Amino acid sequence: MPGYLEEEGIDSQSVTDTYAAVKLEIDNRRWAGVPFYLRTGKRLGRRVTEIAVVFQRAPYSPFDATETQELGHNALVIRVQPDEGVTVRFGSKVPGTQMEIRDVTMDFAYGESFTESSPEAYERLLLDVLLGDANLFPRHQEVERSWEILDPVESFWARHGRPAPYAAGSWGPAEADEMLARDGRSWRRP
Amino acid sequence: MNIDLTDTTSARINTALVQGRRSVGAAVGMVLTLVIVTDEGNHYDALKAASEASKEHPSRILVVIKRPGRSPRERAGARLDAEVRVGGEAGNGETVLLRLHGELSGHAYSVVLPLLLPDAPVVVWWPDEAPAHPADDLLGTLAQRRITDAAATEDPVAALVARAEVYAPGDTDLSWTRVTPWRSVLAAALDQKHTKVTAAEVEGEEYNPSTELLALWLAERLDVTVGRVVSEGPGITAVRLTTADGVICLDRPDGALATLAVPGQPDRHVALHRRSTAELIAEELRRLDPDEAYAGTVRHGLGRLNTPPGASAADVAAPPPAAEPTGTRTPAKAVAKAPATTSTKAPVPRASPTKAAGRAAKPKPKADGKNGKNGKPAA
């Protein structure tokens, strides 16, 4: 699979970005200390849109450290597309006398509960356009506010640095992994 | 349900998996992705073992079959064929056979990556030929655990020496898994009997990495000289631990039923059959964190795999000639490495750096050290 710079008709010196990862925070009391990590990119491992709420580790006081070290972070994953659904991920004890923990999932798949599959996202939007229903569209104020967040990032990148390269079919450049490693986290594999 | 896909892509395989799962209607929570890297000749047995193990560990099994092709034309092309099996005799979970033709056989990593289960841990298993450095292999970097099998290689003991040198946390070998029942019975025998073990002896087949590992494990844990006796097999045939009260002997001549003889107690029969690959894989998949006991054992041994201290002259001559150079080269290295490796894992009282170095320089290995240093003149 060719990368963007190897595509036909693309300047091999191009600085067009195909991947973005940002960390955002909301500056108020309610959301203090909750980082939002967003990432998007072209030609990553696979096409997937998800929102993952990763919970903080609870204090597992009754158990000692070796018993809970295999425990991952509990997570609530909302799968937007494809294979729409919700997954809850949590640790569970493996049956038996040994104290071993394994992460398990609780799954709801939209496609399994309804024999009818939901329409593609753009099908629905086109129908709304025809009906004149603007509920699912952002208003111009929202769009402008969104750009207020992104414009400083864009202008900084335009002046400093080049996009970090990543292999086609991978989950993005190593720099994005470093960004999360600085916070003691790592990207989950979607 | 089987879905065959010819000249396909990862995206289409993913769609087929979702479709297969829905048509079967089974809601199985899969706990891990098992990647089996093999070739056309060996995939059947490996997959059969993995499917059986999936009864205990529902998993997505990805079988990577490399077919680089014989002619230059085949090698230049690239094609991915897949076979998706869900439900039925495929065991619990999902199985995907990936046939990588031509040039694609060198890019297994990018084929496998999109097919891994979200968040779930990944285990890579090389049932026959494993890369020289499993942890540095691209597929190996994906995995929490990397399973190799020294017993399946041409020269098992040499393979084990090589694995020991490149050990990284998460590595394991099926020849180590094979000695688990032996270890538990021996440990239990010593639980009841609190006398110090002064010497040990392990008896087993000549080209058997498990026998070597068991000997090394005893040497590391008990801090005694372990003798290695070659027998007809099958596998490991006996372990004898010499104590002040007498000899604790675990004897298994037929590969199924063992007799445990402890001085002052009646002999007991212990079921100690040779386990199938499926059972071994199921055991390995039970734990997904690094195996510290294995790490200690292979690190302890390194150079002394072929010539355990106290081995008789006949045993020193026994190791295969191919392993000889590695065997004589490593002792010096092991001594040099010992302080660094042991100091990182502080709470191991038995194998203190000075002790390890001192032991390695004891009677038998002294001769080895000489050979290692003046390797050329001696040869």
Q: Of all residues in chain A, what percent carry a pLDDT higher than 90?
A: 30
Q: Residue A31: which pLDDT band, with cuts at 50, 70 and 90?
A: very high
Mean pLDDT within B272-292: 87
- Are residues B51 and B123 located together in one domain of the fold? yes
Pick from B76, B75, B94: which is nearest to B85 by CA? B94
B67 and B190 belong to one structural domain? no
Q: With bands split at pLDDT 50, 70 and 90, how would you rate the model's confidence at B316?
A: very low
Tens digit of each residue's pLDDT (9 = 90 or more) over B132-183: 888 888 888 888 899 999 888 888 888 888 888 888 888 999 999 999 999 9
Alpha-carbon span A188 to B4, nearest angstrom: 30
Quote the pLDDT of residue B130: 85
- Quick one: pLDDT at residue B98? 92
Q: Which CATH architecture has domain A4-181?
A: 2-Layer Sandwich (3.30)
DSSP state of B117: P
CA B186/CA B339 separation, integer angstroms: 29
SS (H, E, C) B288-314: CCCCHHHHHHHHHHHHHCCCCCCCCHH
Alpha helices by DSSP H, listed for chain B, are 10-24, 43-53, 72-76, 108-112, 138-142, 156-165, 174-177, 180-192, 209-222, 277-286, 292-301, 313-317, 324-344, 353-360, 363-373, 375-378
Confidence of residue B28 (pLDDT cuts 50, 70, 90): low
- Confirm whether B133 is domain-assigned: yes
pLDDT of residue B285: 87
Question: In total, how many domains does chain B have?
Answer: 2
Q: Does B209 share its domain with B345?
A: yes
Inter-chain residue contact B118 with A167, CB threshold 8 Å: no
Residue B116 sits in the same domain as residue B146: yes
Q: Residue B27: its pLDDT value, please?
A: 54
What's the domain range around B206? 179-274+314-320+332-353
Element (H, E) at B4: strand B2-5
Reported as a single tens digit per residue, the pLDDT across B72-84 is 888 888 889 999 9
Q: Let me know whether B93 and B233 are in one domain.
A: no
pTM above 0.80, yes or no: no
First-to-last CA distance in chain A?
20
Domain ranges, ordered by start, for chain A: 4-181
Which of A119-128, A140-149, B314-323 has the least mean pLDDT? B314-323
Same domain, B214 and B106: no
Test mutation, A1, A43, A46, chain B, max B CBs within 10 A:
A46
pLDDT (tens digit per residue) in A128-178: 999 998 888 989 999 999 999 889 988 888 888 788 888 888 888 999 999
DSSP letter string, A37-65: EEEEESS-SS--EEEEEEPPPP--TTS-H
Q: Please tell me whether residues B47 and B171 are part of one structural domain.
A: yes
- Does the residue B253 lie in any domain? yes
Is B115 within the bounds of a domain? yes
How far does Cα B25 stand from its chain's mean position? 37
Q: Given a cut of 80, is residue B339 above it in pLDDT?
A: no
pLDDT at B356: 38
Asked whether residue B42 carries a pLDDT value surpassing 50, the answer given is yes
Chain B residues with beta carbon closer than 8 angstroms to that of A107: 27, 29
The complex's ipTM? 0.80
Q: Do B18 and A106 touch (CB under 8 A)?
A: no
* Mutation target among A105, A115, A117, A185 for the B interface, most CBs of B within 10 A: A105
